[in-house]
Amino acid sequence: MSTGEAPRRRFPLPLDKLSPQPAAKAQPRELLRPQRHLQQAAQDAARQAAPSGLGMDSAGVRLRMVQRLQREGLKDERVVQALAAVPRHEFVDTALAIQAYEDTSLPIGHGQTISKPSVVGRMIELLMAGANARAQGQLGRVLEIGTGCGYQAAVLACLARQVLSIERLKPLHEKARANLEALRLGGRVRLIYGDGRLGHAGAGPFDAIIAAAGGEDLPEAWLAQLAPGGRLVAPMLAPGGRSQVLVVVDHLVEAGVSRLVRTLHEPVLFVPLKSGVL
């Protein structure tokens, strides 16, 4: 989480602010001043090391990130807009902000990671293709397991009526709360500290369930809390038990008969789904 920086931006950003902004005008070269104050020199060095997109034109860097994801296969325009709107660098430590718009997972402390933007995009795109999401034109009521730093919850909040996200590690639960409040998303995302394997029956059923941690199988509670027409997307141990794959479960209702249909997708690599809280 970044601290001690310039005040954070209001969220959500108006979409017309997402176009790349013109590069700052070149400044005339500074005359050599051997006795320049050390702190000033350090600040200048830091400014030069930062990618041009961090800071005033981070919307431009995000736009380039989503354009890359689109070239690599992300199709749903609404997901593209959501990824373009959420300032990922606000969810990682200042020292890692420089890498925030690369398609990579990054450490968020406590042995956990923020997911790769391409994987966040892919999973949410799969959710958007579920029956209820197609009927409603948005995700409806979403359950996320594994809040982490809150990045994916913020992206989901752009596309859902309501997001409930559960985290089992107290410090990360609190970090996510601070991150989301700073972006004025506190009201749209309900954060729960608890064991996400149990889901949250009191707030269910959910039109969409998404897990950011993978176990050996899908917990029964998730399947029980998936609304008719709902879709679940989660990583899970692949048959054979050596790698993880993305699993999609649809709760279909045909002629008044409910059934759960499970399909396996591409290999993925997520942190383990653990039980209990810490």
Give yes or no for a contact between 2 and 38, defined as CB atoms under 8 angstroms apart.
no
Interface residue with ligand SAH, options 57, 90, 125, 195 (CB under 6 A):
195
Helices 77-85 and 117-128, interaxial angle, to 10°?
140
Interface residue with ligand SAH, options 59, 63, 149, 180 (CB under 6 A):
149
Determine if 265 is a binding residue for ligand SAH (CB under 6 A).
no
Question: Rounded to the nearest 10 degrees, how much is the dihedral formed by the CA atoms of 138, 143, 146, 152?
Answer: 10
Largest CA distance in the chain: 82
Nearer to ligand SAH, 114 or 229 (CB): 114
CB atoms within 10 A of CB 137: 10
Interface residue with ligand SAH, options 89, 122, 141, 168 (CB under 6 A):
168
Minimum CB distance to ligand SAH, residue 167 (Å): 5
**Catalytic (active site) residue 115:** yes
CB atoms within 10 A of CB 67: 14
Instruction: Pick the stretch among 4-12, 19-27, 190-198, 231-239 that binds ligand SAH (CB under 6 A).
Output: 190-198
Minimum CB distance to ligand SAH, residue 62 (Å): 15
Give yes or no for a contact between 139 and 227, defined as CB atoms under 8 angstroms apart.
no
x-or-dash string of contact with ligand SAH, 92-131, rule CB under 6 A: ----------------x---xxxx----------------
Distance from C-alpha of 161 to C-alpha of 176, rounded to nearest angstrom: 19
Token pair of 187, please? 């009201």
Footprint of ligand SAH (CB under 6 A): 108, 112-115, 145-146, 148-149, 151-152, 166-169, 172, 195-197, 212-213, 271, 273-275
The residues carrying an active-site annotation are: 115
